[in-house]
Structure formats: C-alpha cells, structure tokens
Amino acid sequence: MKRVAIVLAWLLFVGGLTFAVIRFSGLLDSMLMADEPADISLGPDIDLPQSPTYFLVCPPDACPSTDRNVPSPVFDASPDTVATALQATAGAQGMKLVEGNGLALELRFLARTPVFRFPDWVDVKVIPGENGGSRVFAYSRSVYGSDDFGQNEKRLKSWMAATVALIGRQAAPQN
C-alpha cells in the first residue's frame, strides 16, 4: 500500500511539473492554436453556435434572439474615442488586438483563458448613435470545447465596465 501511495505521489508530482513547464513556458499557446476565425457580420442575423460557447454585448435593436447577451452601454463619446478606449482596456482582460486600430470601428481581439490558455475570438463593432454617442456590438466566442463556463460573459461584462469607467474619467473635469 505504501508503494502505491509513493508511485501515485510521484506521478502527481511529475504531471504537475510537466503542466507547469508547458503552461508557463508559452508552449501551451502554440499547442492550442486559434487559427483564423471565419469572417462574420455582427448584427441581428449573426450565425450563433448551438453550444453555449459565446456571449454578446449588443444594442437591443441589433441583438439576435438569444439569452446569452446583455445590452450595450450607451457611450457619451465619439465612435473613434470608444474604439480607442476599448483597445486601451483590452489588455487587462487578457486580450490582444489582431485586427483594426483606433480609427477602425471594427476590431478583432484574441483572448486566452487564464489557466489553460484556451483561445477565444472577440469581434467588436462600434456603432455611431443617432443623437451622438456610440454603442458597441461585441461577440466573444470560444475556439475549443462545448461550454465556456461563463468565461466569455465575464470577459465582456468586465471589459464594458472598464471601458465605461475609462471614458467617464476622460470626460470628467480635471482639477
């Protein structure tokens, strides 16, 4: 019985060490490739997956019929200001810009989950408001798996909150 415990402890140690080396060396990022996502059209007719591996932030009039979404905040700022603020706050959410820039109103980010580094694609379109201001259509989706365990929802909600806070700080008078 003591030998079995020693062998199991040794296997656990070796497995943990192997995971740590792969995880923290950057090998996991190259092992779990994100590939290129298909071009999508953000709007009410977006083609959504059957599995719960996505989440949306969208204006109510542009949201598809799904319960995996929240309404977009209304930003009291120009679309290019909102796009720049989205880029500025993306890094804190573990996202890296791969397509678009501050002047582009359509952006694509690659996000990775914190522990296992699974890739997720996040597409964003900044929509100018009719009476000024802006809204956002954001679509975050997993590359692998049949469930995202709420990661895409958490990412988009905290990202929108950080962007609202940043734009609010920029609009606040400086003392």
CATH code of the domain in which 88 resides? 3.30.310.80
Tell me, yes or no, whether 5 and 40 share the same domain.
Answer: no
Same-domain pairing of 76 and 9: no
**Count of the separate structural domains present in the chain:** 2
Q: Read off the tokens for 48.
A: 């959504």
Classify strands 54-58 and 69-71 as parallel, antiparallel or unpaired. parallel
Token pair, residue 159, equals 């990202």
Do 68 and 148 fall into the same domain? yes
Give the domain extent around 10.
1-31
pLDDT at 24: 65
Top pLDDT among 172 and 123 is at 123
Are residues 128 and 65 part of one domain?
yes
Range scoring the smallest mean pLDDT among 34-38, 49-53, 125-129, 161-165:
34-38
Same domain, 58 and 4: no
Asked whether 44 and 62 are in contact (CB, 8 A), the reply is yes
Tell me if the pTM is above 0.85.
Answer: no
**Confidence label for 1 from pLDDT (cuts 50, 70 and 90):** confident
**Helices in the chain by DSSP H: which ranges?**
2-25, 27-31, 79-90, 151-171
